Amino acid sequence: MKNILVIGCAGQIGTELTMELRKLYGDEHVIATDLKNIPPVISERGPSEHLDILDKEKLKQIVNKYSIDGIVNLAAILSAVGEEHPMLAWNVNMNGLINVLEVAREQKVKRVLTPSSIAAFGPETPIDNTPQETVLRPKTMYGITKVAGELLGDYYVAKYGMDIRGLRYPGIISHEAMPGGGTTDYAVEIYYEAIKKGKYTSFVSADTMLPMMYMPDCLRATIQLFTADKAQLKHHADFNLAAMSFTVKEMADSIKKYIPEFEIDYKPDFRQAIADTWPNTIDDSAAREEWGWKPEYNLDKMTQDMLLHIKKKLETVEA
């Protein structure tokens, strides 16, 4: 692949993944697009375009203009916003994805990567060490679109021989861009509030455990799958992916090692019900076997790094 199109480049993952892809393919070969304003750090380094994923004609024009042969589709409405606006989530996540798959088919794009999520699972899924092949009956609109997206990806592989790849990200924790309205957002907010105020009110309970991943691992996993040898892959659009799992209390305890005066309290809201339908831990052996996945960060290593970067970032803003 030579020219890569990123859709949804201005979000939590896109902000960092676009820059990683540019390191790999060259600044001029990664075209960054989003519905919202693209951060200058991205638009000043390489080509960028305004794109609504629902505008199939514009998508096709961009694919032709830049001779795109690989697409990374990050445009989505996440779980919490999706429960507030279910039809918007359906429209962007499903009709947007169909546009990507159809343009890729028509224009003979070599490869598409479109992430799924632990939101594909539901209350009937085994909660511990959730298997690769398992019950997929999510209770959120976001989760429904993720299951349908996985099935669509596999359908385009089987019917048209296309190369569509996807992975079920856990909650992603990072310090560059803020998360975009998901249930796992507490796992980012907690670090900012620990530094700014020394305390945090969590919107899920102390014993809520979810699978999580630090951004450097997320970037490595995504690029590893995107560049993996196709012949090695038995799965396509639905790889389980894991790094670590912990409760909110365990996060707070990890932060207290570095900020001893940190305090936390709990006021669960509607996001608790969403979190309660997602697994504790994930079996990602297919990803490990088929494309060599292995995470590097655990909770304490991530906490140290998050606190360091957020402190620096807030000091720069204040200066």
Q: Which residues are catalytic?
A: 142
Residue list 50-109, contact with ligand AKB (CB under 6 A) = 78-79
Name 80's Cβ contacts closer than 8 Å, sequence gap at least 6. 181, 182, 183, 185, 270, 271, 274
Residue list 113-142, contact with ligand AKB (CB under 6 A) = 117-119, 142
β-sheet bridge partners, residue 112: 71, 164
Rounded distance, CA 289 to CA 230, Å?
13
Q: Given the rule CB under 6 A, which of 60-68, 132-140, 164-172, 221-229 is the region that contacts ligand NAD? A: 164-172
Say what the alpha-carbon torsion angle 88, 114, 144, 201 is, to the nearest 10 degrees.
-70
Among ligand NAD, ligand AKB, none, the one that 183 touches (CB under a kind-dependent 5 to 8 A) is ligand AKB
Q: How many CA atoms lie within 13 A of 176 on its CB side?
A: 19
The two structure tokens encoding residue 211: 């699978």
Cβ distance to ligand AKB smaller for residue 33 or 174: 174
182 touches ligand AKB (CB under 6 A): yes
Cβ distance to ligand AKB smaller for residue 13 or 63: 13
15 touches ligand AKB (CB under 6 A): no
Nearest residue (beta carbon) to ligand NAD: 11
Number of neighbours of residue 20 by Cβ within 10 angstroms: 17
Cβ distance to ligand NAD smaller for residue 197 or 270: 270
92 touches ligand NAD (CB under 6 A): yes
Q: Given the rule CB under 6 A, which of 45-53, 95-103, 112-120, 241-249 is the region that contacts ligand AKB? A: 112-120
Residues making contact with ligand NAD (CB under 6 A): 7-8, 10-14, 34-36, 51-54, 74-76, 78, 92, 96, 115, 117, 169, 171-172, 179-180, 182, 184
